[in-house]
Amino acid sequence: MQIIDGKSLSKKVQLSVKAEVEKLKREKNIVPGLAVIIVGNDPASHAYVSMKEKACKAVGFYSIAHKMPESITEDEIVQIITMMNNNPHIHGILVQLPLPKHIDTTKILEVIDPKKDVDGFHAYNVGRMVTNLDSFVACTPLGVMKMFDEYNIELEGKDVVVVGASNIVGKPMASLLLNRNATVTITHIYTKDLASHTKKADIIIVGVGVVNLIKEDMVKDGAVVIDIGINRLEDGSLVGDVDFKRVAPKCSYITPVPGGVGPMTIAMLLSNTLKATKEFGENL
């Protein structure tokens, strides 16, 4: 059993991004700029934004966080995004989800210029990703794919079960795997017998936010298990959706929580913002 170390891989990605940022500054006098919009006071969202700001600073990005009150209107958010769409110093725009219930998330995401959609949530980028064209890809699934490549985990012809069908993780994850010729089964809250699918899987990818959902008897020997779930227990500790202690001995590869997929999500955000900046530079 080998643990997939997302923390060290994310550092490797960040060092590569930092080197390219220095080159961009030196050769074209361009500094990558990332703008984040966060609405309300959700502690988890603010923690994520703080981590993103720290990562941006570490690689030499210019970053700005627009922190909005819960009571903000949809039109006001649209105005802010439009302003950033038109700002040549901002290359990536990210809206921290979830948004308050009175805001139409789809409408807000569609206002972002697809060329600055570094979260990969705009329908334009989703469509291009599904059809295997160059696009911005949602950061968490992209981070998982980077892990597979780093650890030389073969996907072609493998039976992969994706547990969770969200627009942010499950659906893009399945599309990326299909693009690499894996045989993909998507399971979700309405799936009748989850274990009947996971037991046959060469690779299990889970991200639904249910502690210990994937148990030892649901995983075959030698499987690869990618745990995207993050759950905070009453004692303050973080755990994933997999019963790590019991499942890990059966696996060929497994990601821990924390230190697995989480750091890769932020690394891919940096990578996507660099990509947006380079494409902007080419169009000058």
Instruction: Answer yes or no: 96 catalytic.
Output: yes
What span, in angstroms and rounded, lies between the C-alpha atoms of 248 and 77?
A: 44
Q: Which of 14, 96, 158, 241 is catalytic?
A: 96
What span, in angstroms and rounded, lies between the C-alpha atoms of 181 and 134?
A: 17
In this structure, the strands spanning 231-232 and 238-239 are: antiparallel
In this structure, the strands spanning 92-95 and 62-68 are: unpaired
Instruction: Answer yes or no: 14 catalytic.
Output: no
Q: Which of 5, 14, 52, 227 is catalytic?
A: 52
Q: Are residues 203 and 158 in contact, defined by beta-carbon separation less than 8 angstroms?
A: yes
- Pull the structure tokens for residue 88: 């040549």
Q: Which of 5, 14, 117, 119 is catalytic?
A: 119
Instruction: Answer yes or no: 215 catalytic.
Output: no
Selection from 35, 30, 139, 24 nearest residue 86 by Cα:
35
Q: Which residues are catalytic?
A: 52, 96, 119
